Amino acid sequence: MRSAPTPFLWILRALASLFLLGYLAFGFLAAFILGYFPGEDVVEKSIFILLFLIFLAGLYFLWSNREGRGGLLFILWYAALWPCEIYIAGDSFEDLPAPGTFMLIIGILSIIYSYNKRKRKDNAID
């Protein structure tokens, strides 16, 4: 039996969804208005798309009451941003992937929420 989502989980879901809207808005702006798709070659474009699919999978898990898996995917997504940013930027790499830090925090909070939910469920059985 599934437990009802708490307001904390709804806040995590809303923040992750808002980040997705920003992600899509940036992609739309870069690709269609500025005429620049992130990446110059096939590998860079493939990495960009792969990271987007990982992000979408994490968001799906967050909304489907599997918060731990979603949080883990958000953390892996953020961890993959570092080498990708360094690979794409090369010697001009100066900044950390700051927007990704927001999703790292949401990922950690999702895992904590999942752990606490499991702990409450175990205590209810005893």
Measure the CA–CA gap between 92 and 116, rounded to whole angstroms.
42
CA distance 36 to 69: 33
| 50 membership: H or E segment, kind and range | helix 42-63
Whether the CB-CB separation of 63 and 13 falls below 8 Å is answered with yes
**Mean per-residue pLDDT of the chain:** 81
Query: Which residues make Cβ contacts (< 8 Å) with residue 99, sequence separation at least 6?
Result: 19, 22
Position 75 scores a pLDDT of: 92
> Is this model's pTM higher than 0.85 or not?
no
CA distance 84 to 122: 40
Regions in the chain scoring below 50 on pLDDT: 1
Residue 1 confidence (pLDDT): 46
